């Protein structure tokens, strides 16, 4: 018992020293991990950019288990971190129970738009709009009239990506065939490049000559196989055109990095509420740079940019998968 007491005493001393952090921002990565070449890494890049520019520092944690979600939120809030930025739809529920207990702390959550709370900045992205544009590009670049879609884990968010993509494809070529596959049903599906590669090969054997990967780390395998087999691929979240120059048609950009950067820049005064970033806000879009300039002809660019304008103006409506949990042009 005395051993226990002395242990506890030593421990308490450390607790005091570690708990004394000041109002730094904190960033909570989702289970995919910080370096997933995609969603979480984009957040890290945004945070790093802020740190480099301001010389500030931020706390971070890569979650390992579901029970840590609420734990990390509370621990950072108690340590005085502000704002606390969290990634992914799975934070919605823990956040809605934790946020009311810390009214002076601002919380930011990416990919969540439906919870209540005065001190929460909720950021959603209109992924279906960006996916629509890359779908159009895919259909215009395809010679076989068959295009592929490789999703990560089979969750509504990824169906949302696939649904926008399919609508874009059908808008250009109503007879196009879309082969959609999900990598898996467990979180491992976010980080399984080998399976991504196999799915791509299977889609190629069915005639696909453009494949869109919305699968986190799994997408690395999709892009690699597409480049090896001489077909085109489309990256996601970050600009992945540089991974295989001349082989990646484009990337569907989801500017998570900008969202995180802006939140950190605003610090404790960050504006709360619900923000949906679409084409109009440059929250989503398609990537055009030196690596894929030769693949996107002026006609393709003109057609996509026209569609972009129409969507922003409200003349063209891309149906969201969430509206009635189904997609008008694609069955999952």
Would you tell me which residues interact with other proteins (CB under 8 A)? 7-8, 10-12, 14-15, 18, 31, 33-34, 59, 61-62, 64-68, 70-72, 74-76, 89-90, 92-93, 111-112, 114, 153-157, 160, 185-187, 322, 325
Q: Indicate the residue among 60 and 209 with the shorter CB distance to other proteins.
A: 60
Residue 29 Cβ vs other proteins, minimum distance, rounded to whole Å? 9
9 vs 230, beta carbon nearer other proteins:
9
Shortest Cβ distance from residue 67 to other proteins (Å)? 6
CB neighbours of residue 62 within 10 Å: 17
Rounded least distance, CB 97 to other proteins, Å: 9
CB of 231 to other proteins, least distance (A): 29
Greatest CA span in the chain, whole angstroms? Answer: 79
Residue 247 or 254 with smaller CB distance to other proteins: 254
246 CB-near residues (< 8 Å, 6+ apart): 291, 292, 294, 295
Q: How far is the CB of 113 from other proteins (least distance, A)?
A: 8
> Which C-beta is closer to other proteins: that of 299 or that of 325?
325
Nearer to other proteins, 76 or 132 (CB): 76
């Amino acid at each position: 018992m005395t051993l226990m007491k002395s242990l506890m005493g030593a421990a308490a001393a450390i607790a005091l020293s570690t708990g004394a952090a000041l109002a730094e921002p904190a960033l909570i990565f989702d289970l995919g991990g910080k370096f997933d070449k995609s969603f979480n890494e984009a957040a890290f890049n945004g945070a790093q950019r802020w740190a480099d520019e301001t010389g500030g520092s931020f706390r971070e944690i890569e979650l390992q288990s579901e029970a840590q979600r609420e734990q990390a939120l509370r621990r950072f809030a108690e340590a005085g971190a502000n704002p606390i930025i969290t990634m992914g739809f799975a934070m919605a529920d823990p956040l809605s129970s934790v946020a009311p207990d810390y009214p002076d702390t601002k919380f930011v959550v990416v990919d969540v738009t439906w919870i209540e709370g005065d001190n929460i900045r909720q950021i959603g992205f209109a992924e279906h709009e960006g996916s629509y544009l890359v779908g159009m590009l895919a259909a215009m670049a395809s010679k076989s009239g068959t295009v592929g879609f490789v999703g990560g884990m089979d969750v509504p968010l990824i169906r949302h990506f696939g649904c926008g993509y399919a609508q874009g494809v059908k808008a250009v070529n109503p007879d196009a065939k879309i082969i959609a596959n999900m990598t898996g049903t467990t979180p491992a599906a976010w980080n399984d490049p080998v399976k991504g590669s196999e799915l791509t090969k299977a889609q190629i054997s069915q005639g696909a000559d453009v494949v869109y990967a919305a699968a986190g780390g799994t997408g690395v395998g999709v892009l690699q196989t597409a480049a090896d087999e001489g077909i085109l691929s489309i990256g996601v979240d970050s600009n992945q055109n540089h991974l295989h120059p001349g082989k990646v048609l484009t990337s569907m950009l989801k500017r998570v990095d900008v969202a995180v950067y802006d939140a950190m820049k605003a610090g404790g005064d960050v504006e709360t509420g619900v923000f949906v970033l679409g084409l109009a806000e440059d929250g989503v879009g398609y990537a055009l740079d030196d690596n894929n300039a030769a693949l996107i002809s002026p006609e393709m660019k003109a057609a996509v940019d026209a569609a972009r304008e129409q969507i922003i103006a409200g003349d063209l409506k891309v149906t969201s998968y969430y509206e009635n949990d189904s997609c008008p042009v694609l069955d999952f």
